[in-house]
Amino acid sequence: MPPPPIRLVRRVGRLVLALAAVVGLIVLFLALIVLTAGAGSGLLAWLTTLGVGIVAATWRARRRAGPGKLVPFLPVLVAVALAAAVCVPSVPTDRRYPTALPFVATQQWDLATGSRVAVYHYPPAPGSTQRPTPLVYLHGGPVRGIAVLDHRFLQLLAQQGYDVYAYEQPGGGRSDLLPMEQYGIARSVRDLAAFVDRLGRGRVDVLGFSAGAAILTRALAEPDVATRLHRAIIAEPGPADGPTARISGQQGRPNARALAPPPSGPRSTNTPRYAVAFGLMRLGLLGPDTGLIGQAEGVNAFTAADLGGDTASAYCAKDAHRIPVEDTVENFSFSAAASQRVQQTIRESPSIAARLGSSETPAMLMVAECSSQVRQWATTILADDPAIERTQYLPGVGHHMWNGLDRNNEQAYAVIDAFLRDAPAPLPNYPTPADIPAFLQDRR
């Protein structure tokens, strides 16, 4: 019998080999998930991994006798058990819609595009000075529900006499899903036009925020859609076309991403299935039409905590330890797959600069001091759209400019109201197109 130190070394060696076998099979499984696009909820990759593992274990066991022949199969059992957790749903696979909001009715509108969207109407408050033109809100995301924090801001606008309408883009919130191949920036623009037509109130003012601002920018570049718009407010826009989407780098003043405490609440990414699915999507290794998880299952699984530092990045560094709760668990909704699909169509689209250069719809650009958006996403629009009448640089706020902190809601309202009334701006017109080089150089 070998001395104890040698026996210990042999045991450690066997353990290392067993762990290496488990890790190797898991890596093989993940590679097969990518190669098969998650076909059959990952079952094809799992069965292939099981088959490879059994063949390898059988080959290793060929010279063993008695119970020892079973030892090589133990790493296979461990690996396929871990892989099986990626193949089994832990949330419903059919769509579960958020519960009704207690302060506003949800209407369901069928649009001419085939989309069925959830609509919210905040009529002018009694006794307020009613504005003649309806105001339509395009939320951020893309393909996300409207957060309670945004609903509160829409209520503020209605209290001041605005007739406010908002709808959730297909796939988000209480709106119905679309087939994955139908999501895209062009469809989003057509949905906006169809919504205005369905509203039947003539031309409308539109407030587009973040991804909604990108939709609005694209609408301004489409003459047949722009004719439906009275005034446009482009707030903290995302990239509107492929060349702009490929710009990376400069953001606004420091935000709270690296300073705020981690978001609380359950995370789908603590579950192997969704950690793998969303992780591979984020890396671009799985497409939005993956067979690993269905669209409805993905929406049901994704939680606000899964956004991680994205929420904190929408606030200034000074607000890192007082970031408000933007939404409730019951109301939160986000489709990672459909969002990826929309962003993919933006990256693949040609420049809209020439068409945007012919825009005649009066517009205003809103940018935040601590914006987490790439600055050139906004300054490119400012340079290309001659109909932008003013730019408002909002101090003391991040990407989510109306956030309930201090007097940020009132500041955002004052800027929006002044533009829609064609009244003098409460803030300097900055930056102008001529200011863009210095604005970017000064890292404003």
Cα distance between residue 40 and residue 43, in whole Å: 5
Q: Where are the beta strands (DSSP E) in 193-290?
A: 204-209, 229-235
Report pLDDT for 84: 92
**pLDDT score of 81 more than 70:** yes
**pLDDT score of 216 more than 90:** yes
Distances (CA, A) of 116 to 31, 295, 407: 37, 16, 36
pLDDT tens digits, one per residue of 320-339: 999 999 999 999 999 999 99
CATH number of 107-267+303-441: 3.40.50.1820
Cα distance between residue 371 and residue 247, in whole Å: 16
Write down the domain spans for the chain.
4-87, 107-267+303-441
Q: Is 231 left (phi over 0), alpha (psi -120 to 50) or beta?
A: beta
pLDDT tens digits, one per residue of 199-208: 999 999 999 9
Exposure letters 337-350 (e unless 16+ CB within 10 A, then b) = bbbbbbbbebeebe
pLDDT tens digits, one per residue of 55-78: 887 887 777 766 767 777 788 888
pLDDT tens digits, one per residue of 360-369: 999 999 999 9
**pLDDT score of 9 more than 90:** no
**pLDDT score of 8 more than 70:** no
Alpha carbons within 13 angstroms on the beta-carbon side of residue 175 total: 29
Distances (CA, A) of 289 to 28, 69, 126, 168, 260: 22, 42, 47, 21, 33
Kindly report whether the global pTM for this prediction surpasses the value 0.85: yes
Q: Which structure tokens are listed for 86?
A: 């990626």
Cα distance between residue 191 and residue 168, in whole Å: 11
Residue 165's SS3 state is strand
